[in-house]
Structure 1
Amino acid sequence: MNIKKDYFLGGGLLLLFALLTWSVVMQAAWVGELDRSVQGIIKYDTQMDTRIFEVVALLGSPPVVISLTAAICGYLWVKGRRSDSIWIGACQLLGSGLLLLIKLLVQRPRPIHQLVADTGFSFPSGHVMCSMVLMLSLLMLMLPKIKEQENQFVAILLSMIWIGMVATSRIYLRDHFASDILGSLLLANGLWFVMLPQARYIDALIVKQAAQRSAFRPQREDK
């Protein structure tokens, strides 16, 4: 039943992402209104704010986030949690690859008057996509170990705050539109829930292989 819910939720989010992508390609009026409204709220304030958001953008950049993900995967592999290691790495790499493909297909120009120059296409945001997958991975690993519901809520809240800061930094620095951010959130969460059942499959496969190796060893010793 949980698997059906995961596919249903993930599929629904990916459908919303597809509709948003189509609206961006067709330059729908509501997309432009959304982008202008959010950009009007998140305006340049002070040089200190710009410096802070530059640091946030750096820490949330795909190279940094993918490196952190690789370190987490390596740690999990050494600790014997190979299914988690494989699955988290696959989510990050598949998400990053899919995002690059969509960028090339949509080819949306970035906003003008960037405070920090960035290259490539705008839709969707790589920073938000990779950071969202990393936060979901950390929550998946941490929440089962946190017994108090209040502490679980704090962990979720901190993750949401960080994603919000990364998303805000991309709009504040004028490297992305608000619709780019929305697209990344839909794509990351949709991909996560669609792939979630595969984590159970990988775990079952690794357990099965371990059992087969264990059953095979005595036969080799007898010979």
Structure 2
Amino acid sequence: MNSYIVLLLAVSILLLLIFNIKTSRRFNLFDHWLHHQLVKKHDGYKWQVIAFINDPKLMVVWDVLLAGLLLNEERNLTAIWVLGTLGFADASGIVMKKLIRRRRPIMHSDMENGYSFPSGHVLGATTMGLILLQLFAKEFGLIFIIGIVALWVMVIISRLSLKSHYPSDIVGATSLAIVCFSISQQLFLAF
């Protein structure tokens, strides 16, 4: 699929979500209902490890380590791109959280604070997953791709199981990550 079509689709989904979260009571009621259906029983504690490993602050550490490895291989521009891509995505997520100001679901963990939309964990995991796929998918093949996708799915399940986010927070974070990654990739290719 053409990267511009993917970017346009991600932007459209993101804008549609923002509009509905801010203006549609029916959409928000559906999102609450869907969240409740997905997490009927509270078994989220086993997902704390996945949430911890993919915490946005720790994701920065993983990003810096990856950039360090790339610098060691004298791939300086790629290392800067890796840092810039996650930084751009994280900054966009922080700004969006402050603009949307969506409260977290009822019964979320006391360890979670801040606003709900978009999910910072999913934003970081999606962005890092896209970065890793871009850099290493050809080299490591299908098993690597499946591993990245499996980890990403586990992050999504952890955020829902811990009752930290609504489904639209997950979709919004994924869309925002695709938008930020696509823009960053186009800037990187321009150099």
Letter in 1 for 2:12: L
Structure 1 residues 165 and 116: alpha-carbon distance in aligned structure 2, compared to 1, 3 A threshold: farther
Contact 1:42-1:171 within 8 A present in 2 as well:
yes
TM-score, normalised with respect to structure 1: 0.79
Task: Flag structure 2 segments of 5+ consecutive residues without an equivalent.
Answer: none
- 2:45 and 2:106 map into 1 onto residues whose CA distance is 19
Q: 2:20 matched to which residue of 1? A: 23
> 1:73-92, aligned counterparts within 5 Å?
73-92=67-86
Deviation at 1:19, TM superposition (A): 1.2
Letter in 1 for 2:130: L
- What do you get for the CA RMSD once the two structures are aligned? 1.8
Contact 1:6-1:196 within 8 A present in 2 as well:
no
Give the counterpart of 1:156 among 145, 170, 178.
Answer: 145
Q: 1:105 matched to which residue of 2? A: 99
Q: 1:187 matched to which residue of 2? A: 176
Contact 1:92-1:130 within 8 A present in 2 as well:
yes
Letter in 2 for 1:78: N
- 1:117 and 1:167 map into 2 onto residues whose CA distance is 17
Q: 2:120 matched to which residue of 1? A: 126
Q: 2:54 matched to which residue of 1? A: 60
Query: Which of these two proteins has the greater Rg computed from alpha carbons?
Result: 1
Letter in 1 for 2:175: L
Deviation at 1:34, TM superposition (A): 3.6
Q: 1:212 matched to which residue of 2? A: none
- 2:74 and 2:122 map into 1 onto residues whose CA distance is 30
Task: Flag structure 1 segments of 5+ consecutive residues without an equivalent.
Answer: 147-151, 203-223
- 1:28 and 1:164 map into 2 onto residues whose CA distance is 28
Q: For residues 130-188 of structure 1, give each alpha carbon's deviation from its aligned partner in whole angstroms, at most 9, with x where no partner exists.
A: 01111111111211213xxxxx2322222111111111111111111111011001111
Deviation at 1:92, TM superposition (A): 0.2
Deviation at 1:61, TM superposition (A): 0.6
- 1:11 and 1:41 map into 2 onto residues whose CA distance is 29
How many pairs does the alignment contain? Answer: 191
Q: Aligned pair 1:165/2:177, yes or no?
A: no
Q: For residues 59-94 of structure 1, give each alpha carbon's deviation from its aligned partner in whole angstroms, at most 9, with x where no partner exists.
A: 111011111001101111121111211111111001
Q: 1:175 matched to which residue of 2? A: 164
TM-score, normalised with respect to structure 2: 0.91
- 1:11 and 1:86 map into 2 onto residues whose CA distance is 25
Q: Which runs of 4+ in 1 moved over 3 A?
A: none
Q: For residues 84-111 of structure 1, give each alpha carbon's deviation from its aligned partner in whole angstroms, at most 9, with x where no partner exists.
A: 1111111100110011001001100111
